[in-house]
Structure 1
Amino acid sequence: MEEVLALIEKKKQEFAKSGLFEFMRDQSINPRQRLAFAPCVAPFVMSFGEFNKYVFREEPTNDPLQEIINNHTNEDDHHWLWFLADLETLGINKTLKFSDALNFLWDEETKASRWVTHQIFRYAFGASPIAKLLILEIIEATGNVFFSTAAPIAEELQTITQKELLYFGCFHLEVENNHSKDVPQQRQSIKNIQLSIESRQEAFEIVEHLFEAFTQLTDELLVYAKTHSFEQPFAKPGEILQPLKAA
């Protein structure tokens, strides 16, 4: 497994160079605008909660690796509640007709958020504990890049609004950095997993494809953040907006 984990780390470093994260770090842009894409990640965020409950988790189990996965899913299956709270804090929880909300969630502008969930389900449903653990490692790697970049924006906004962001802020980042499967003993046991040649090749394929899907998602979020005002996040843009400068 150590070779596969090394590939994940390599892909993580490449992923961190995404244009979205450069945009999010640009302090000349209004911090709210740097999170204007927030509604677009709803399909992934809400689906991830269900993946943890119904796809990754298998109870009861006598498999030590599946037990690690189960513990991890219990730590991750409720983070969507923090996302909903942040939509309210960010002022994005606007009133929409139900049909308009459905149209947004299944629009072309949010297809990458749906696509990444389909790809996770593709590889995780009915998979072995090793494959499930691998998928969680990829999600954790991409999530670490994202939340490490989002947390400083949340701090900027908290200074302005005196309101804390849970999902996008330091609270979530700290939770992600302290998962039980990441304690040294667990990390070493994961590294020591022996893979057959066939399993290793399958693992490499999963890493390549899921990082590609997450990269497509960041590309989509960047376009949305540049073409939609945080003040009217669901309005169809007539033209690309100039990034709103911080006051």
Structure 2
Amino acid sequence: MKEILDYRDVKQNELRAHTFFKWMNSEGPPLNDKFQFMPIMIIFVMNFRDMNKWVIRFDDSDNELKAVINSSTTEDETHSRLFLEDWRKFHFDDHLDWKPSDVLWWLFLADDTEPFRRFGVDFMRLCVDDNNDPLMRFAHSEAGEACGHVFFENIAPLAEKLSIQNGLNYRYFGMHHLELETGHVLESEGVFEHETLTAAQRQTGLNLAERMFTIFDGIHDSFYAYVEKYCEANTTPVRNCNRKNSRAAEHEAEEDVISTPSLNDASQVDSSQSALQNHLNMRKEEIENHEFFHWMKETPLPAVKKLQRFIPLWAVDIFGYRDLNKYAMKYKNPVNNLEKQTNRIASNLSNHSQLFLQDWIELELDELISWPVSDMLDFLFLDYMMDTHRENLIKFGMLALKYKDPVVRLWFMDILEASGHSFFRNTRELALEAEKNENICLDYLADRHLITHQKYDTTLDADIKQLNVTKENKKIIDSLIDIVFDALTKNLDLSLFAAKSNKFSIR
């Protein structure tokens, strides 16, 4: 382990020389202005809680090494609340004056924040590639802690100076946080450094640590890019409000823009897959009878009011589906036709969410919810209902990264699409009624997802349902069916509760 820790020290010192820290410690900008880069931190900081709860943490603590890592994640998951506390002290809600739709754009669609959506999946990939070996998880976690210490050793003194000026205590940026960021996995000293690694473990550990430092190099590159683009120009990000892919703009017939029910025609299924297809069909039939869909059909409310009562709960799922397909399902360097097919399908599926932001605006959710930025972030990342949605999405991402066989990934995408059939069949009915009655356009909820697809020659695609599937892959796919539909059931339960209790106070 000593070789990995020595490497950590070298890379930590290299990070200290980053241009971002030179800017932070320069004499030019006023002290308060040096914290105006906070908006570019949002995704990393708020997702950090999720990474600790559902990615880094082991399911059990059956040995000392796992117990130490798990204990560290319990402390680290609290930091996002401190960030929101400091955000409010810097009056960023007033400074940005963003609507909820602007927050969604910044988190899930803006070009400036795209690297952070990729970094999130890269981070998850580390915890897949370490094969749940606590020594390997320590190797990349320790690298991450070293990077965090560099950030706070630079910024905490500035926050303390600002505290003296204005009398406010900045617990995220100040000494409170620096004292927690020792540069090591919490309480790990004396536990890991004397562990002996095999040659293979040492090489894997060095590779994982290197990848973590690469992620943090990219994070700080993005911090400084934001500084140059916005802070030094004394401006803030503004969403382009041009409407794209609307039904009116496409001039397509109604029947031509409804999403296809499946990735493949399952009318002919190879005998090795018949049990899988039967299992999938059974779960689809079960979910069709969920009480939430009965509420959608039978409750005597206008269609637009029904949609407004539950749609905010699905924001993370809908936008996160983009990143799941773009960064977890796709192969970086596809080597065969099935991997290329996976990439083509994943690329199209990743486009669907761009329609949702316009639906949000058309439903007037900005006006109905009217939360400032910090309250919107609190809802998306800290609300107990949203925890369930985000945990499910992270679980899907980890599974997509774990199972690299294209047959499994193609099946996985098919399962995810199939799980949405009942949901979109019901939202479509409400969306069509709302469009007619309210003179609005709801392309996403009306299931016109195909208008975002890039066309390609589908004759190149294999029908995955007609391929022979190995016994091992059948077991994996069978479990994926239950994982996806069990997660959907939980989400629908929450939607039913939110709709009935009027969680969002829709009048």
TM-score, normalised with respect to structure 2: 0.44
When the two chains are superposed, the root-mean-square deviation of aligned CA atoms in Å is: 2.1
Residue 77 of structure 1, CA deviation: 1.0
Name the structure 2 match of 1:127: 132
Greater C-alpha Rg:
2
Residues 1:50 and 2:50 are matched in the alignment: yes
1:205-238: CA deviation from partner (whole Å, max 9, x where unpaired): 11222211211111111121122149753348xx
CA distance in 2: counterparts of 1:84 and 1:153, whole angstroms: 18
Q: Cα offset for 1:51?
A: 1.4
Match of 1:158 in 2: 163
| Greater Cα offset, 108-117 or 173-182 | 173-182
Paired position in structure 2 for 1:168? 173
Mapped partners of 2:27, 2:8: distance in 1: 29
Specify the SS of the correspondent of 2:112: helix
Q: Distance in 1 between matches of 2:184 and 2:214?
A: 25
Mapped to 2, the partners of 1:90 and 1:27 lie a distance apart of 21
Structure 1 vs Structure 2: percent identity of aligned residues?
27
Give the alignment partner of residue 152 of structure 2, picking from 142, 147, 156: 147
State how 1:33-72 maps to structure 2 within 5 Å. Answer: 33-72=33-72
Post-superposition offset of 1:116: 2.5
Q: Note the residue ranges of structure 1 that are not aligned, 5 or more in a row.
A: 237-247
Once the 2 structures are TM-superposed, how far is the Cα of residue 14 of structure 1 from its aligned partner? 0.4
Judge conservation of contact 2:12–2:147 (CA < 8 Å) in 1. Answer: yes
Q: CA shift at 1:180, angstroms?
A: 7.7
2:163/2:170 contact within 8 Å kept: yes
Q: Which residue of 1 aligns with 2:222?
A: 220
User: d(CA) in 1 for partners of 2:195 and 2:91?
Assistant: 46
Task: Tell me, in whole angstroms, the C-alpha distance in 1 between the residues paired with 2:116 and 2:175.
Answer: 23
Question: Contact 1:79–1:167 (CA<8 Å) still a contact in 2?
Answer: yes
Q: How far does the alpha carbon of each residue in 1:152-207 deviate from its partner, in whole angstroms, 9 at most, with x for none?
A: 2212221232111111111110122397834xxx4233111121111111111112
The answer to whether the 8 A contact 2:145-2:183 is kept is no
Q: Give the unaligned 5+ runs of structure 2.
A: 240-507
CA–CA distance in structure 2, aligned partners of residues 216 and 195 of structure 1 = 29
AA aligned to 2:237 is F
Letter in 2 for 1:181: L
Q: In structure 2, how many angstroms separate the alpha carbons of the residues matched to 1:189 and 1:61?
A: 15
Alignment-derived partner of residue 27 in structure 1: 27
Could you tell me how far 1:72 is from its partner in structure 2? 0.8
Cα distance in structure 1, aligned partners of 2:103 and 2:185: 36
Identify the range of structure 1 (86-95 vs 170-179) with the bigger mean alpha-carbon deviation: 170-179
Are the aligned partners of 2:138 and 2:185 in contact in 1 as well (CA < 8 Å)?
no
Q: Where in structure 2 are the equivalents of 1:74-223 lying within 5 Å?
A: 74-94=74-94, 95-106=97-108, 107-125=110-128, 127-177=132-182, 181-182=186-187, 186-223=188-225
CA distance in 1, matches of 2:84, 2:2: 37
**Given residue 3 of structure 2, which amino acid in structure 1 is its aligned partner?**
E
Distance in 2 between residues matched to 1:178 and 1:193, nearest whole Å: 19
Give the whole-Å Cα distance in 2 for the aligned partners of 1:115 and 1:200.
Answer: 26
Structure 1 residues 12-67: Cα deviation after superposition (integer angstroms, max 9, x where no partner): 00011000000011133112222221111111111111111112222432121000
Cα distance between partner residues in 2 of 1:14 and 1:148? 14
Partner of 2:16: 16
CA distance 1:32–1:233, change in 2 (3 Å)? farther
Distance 1:111 1:214 in 2: 15
* Partner AA of 1:217 in structure 2: I
- 3-state SS of 1:181 partner: coil
Higher relative contact order (CA 8 A, sep 6+): 1
CA distance in 2, matches of 1:100, 1:137: 35
Q: What are the Cα deviations for residues 119-168 of structure 1, in whole angstroms up to 9, with x where unaligned?
A: 11111145321222122201110000000111122122212321111111
SS at match of 2:211: helix
CA contact (8 A) 1:82 1:167 kept: yes
Is this contact kept in 2: 1:35–1:225, CA < 8 A?
A: no
Q: Which residue of 2 aligns with 1:240?
A: none
